């Protein structure tokens, strides 16, 4: 069985180091000339699938923008995940799940198993109920799926929790990176337990021992730049996957224009291929 880390490593090498988000903000639906309802959502997501499937290494639907439409929005999300995965494109569901272990087990089965219509290749998880509470998702990450653990997020409010110091002097963010690193021990290419580190930060946690993918959101609309990605990645250029959502999506509404935006963005991160 190939691991998620191995599949991601191959996809990044083939398609370039980029995770594109599908974030159907109401403003984007309007800017694309779509109605802000389920019909508009379906058109938006369908165009993103046409543009990104087979072209982008990792696609990250932001679950919140589907959930806001209730059950009908979830159906669109299910179709989006299925269409991307059927085309051989890796899907990271940005659901930021985290709860007590028994509930986490249900989240893990929802987002990381084929028995679920929402089953994806990987999911974002929040370790702020304790890293160990993520165990059900981490178990599936040994079994062909991936998780991205929120370590140092791109929003300014995150520092209040993530930069707090633990008894041994490490930041909370560093503890999360170190816990993820322990789970990746022995992986041959990239491990399947990634972390999220914002491109907007002044300083990243020490990522040198992670041996897993580093999702870096915050590029573009939140002010992070390719240069910030280079600075924060340090020696881990091989493992960084910048995430860009609105900056690419604003190029819509045609799939061709979105694909051009993807190519330009991938080119701006050419240094990550080094």
Distance from the Cα of residue 142 to its chain's centroid? 18
Q: Per CB under 6 A, does 36 bind ligand LLZGTKA7? A: no
Near ligand LLZGTKA7 by CB under 6 A: residue from 196, 204, 233, 266: 196
Task: Note whether 76 and 69 are within 8 A (CB).
Answer: yes
Q: Which is nearer to ligand LLZGTKA7, 101 or 230 (CB)?
A: 230
Q: Which is nearer to ligand LLZGTKA7, 119 or 220 (CB)?
A: 220
Q: What minimum distance in Å lies between the beta carbon of 216 and ligand LLZGTKA7? A: 9
Per-residue mark of binding to ligand LLZGTKA7, 237-256 (x: CB under 6 A): ------xxxxx---------
Tokens for 99, please give them.
């709860």
- Read off φ and ψ for residue 2, nearest 5 degrees: -80, 145
Task: Note whether 150 and 96 are within 8 A (CB).
Answer: yes
Rounded CA-CA distance 206/177 in Å is: 8
Q: Which is nearer to ligand LLZGTKA7, 101 or 253 (CB)?
A: 253
Q: Per CB under 6 A, does 228 bind ligand LLZGTKA7? A: no
Task: Note whether 137 and 123 are within 8 A (CB).
Answer: yes
Task: Note whether 56 and 79 are within 8 A (CB).
Answer: no
Part of the chain binding ligand LLZGTKA7 (CB under 6 A), chosen from 106-114, 187-195, 219-227, 229-237? 219-227
Near ligand LLZGTKA7 by CB under 6 A: residue from 40, 127, 205, 217: 217
User: Which of 79, 85, 96, 230 is flagged as catalytic?
Assistant: 96
Residues linked to residue 20 through DSSP beta bridges, in sequence order: 59, 244
Binding-site size for ligand LLZGTKA7 (CB under 6 A) equals 18
Near ligand LLZGTKA7 by CB under 6 A: residue from 110, 153, 162, 192: 153
SS3 assignment, position 91:
strand
Task: Note whether 183 and 40 are within 8 A (CB).
Answer: no
- Confirm whether 96 is a catalytic residue: yes
Tokens for 177, please give them.
């990176």
Q: Per CB under 6 A, does 85 bind ligand LLZGTKA7? A: no
Rounded CA-CA distance 95/111 in Å is: 9
Rounded CA-CA distance 260/263 in Å is: 5
Q: Per CB under 6 A, does 47 bind ligand LLZGTKA7? A: no
Q: Per CB under 6 A, does 213 bind ligand LLZGTKA7? A: no
Q: Per CB under 6 A, does 220 bind ligand LLZGTKA7? A: yes
Q: Per CB under 6 A, does 265 bind ligand LLZGTKA7? A: no
Neighbours of 54 (CB within 10 A): 12
- In the region spanning residues 123 to 152, those forming contacts with ligand LLZGTKA7, defined by CB under 6 A, are none
Tokens for 237, please give them.
């250029």
From the CA atom positions of the chain, what is the Rg in Å?
A: 17
| CA-angle at 249, arms to 270 and 42, nearest 5° | 135
Active site residues: 96
Residues that bind ligand LLZGTKA7 (CB under 6 A): 21, 23, 62, 94, 153-154, 196, 198, 217-218, 220-222, 243-247
């Amino acid at each position: 069985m190939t691991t998620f880390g191995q599949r991601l490593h191959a996809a990044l090498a083939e398609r370039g180091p980029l995770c594109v988000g599908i974030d159907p903000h109401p403003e984007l639906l309007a800017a694309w000339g779509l109605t802000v309802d389920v019909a508009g959502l379906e058109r938006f997501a369908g165009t993103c699938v046409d543009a990104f499937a087979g072209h982008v290494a990792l696609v990250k639907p932001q679950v919140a923008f589907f959930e806001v439409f209730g059950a009908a929005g979830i159906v669109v999300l299910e179709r989006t995940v299925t269409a991307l995965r059927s085309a051989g494109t890796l899907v990271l569901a940005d659901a930021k799940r985290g709860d007590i272990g028994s509930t986490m087990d249900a989240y893990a089965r929802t987002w990381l198993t084929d028995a679920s219509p929402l089953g994806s290749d990987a999911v974002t998880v929040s370790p702020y109920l304790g890293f160990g509470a993520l165990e059900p998702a981490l178990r599936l990450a040994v079994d062909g799926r991936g998780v991205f653990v929120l370590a140092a997020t791109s929003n300014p409010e995150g520092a209040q929790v993530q930069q707090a110091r633990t008894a041994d002097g490490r930041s909370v963010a560093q503890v999360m990176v170190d816990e993820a690193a322990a789970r990746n021990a022995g992986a041959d290419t990239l491990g399947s337990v990634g972390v999220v580190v914002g491109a907007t930060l002044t300083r990243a946690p020490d990522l040198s021992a992670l041996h897993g993918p580093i999702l870096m959101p915050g590029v573009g609309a939140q002010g992070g730049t390719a240069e910030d990605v280079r600075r924060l990645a340090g020696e881990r250029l091989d493992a960084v996957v910048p995430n860009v959502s609105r900056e690419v999506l604003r190029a819509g509404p045609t799939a061709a224009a979105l694909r051009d935006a993807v190519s330009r963005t991938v080119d701006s991160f050419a240094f990550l291929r080094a």
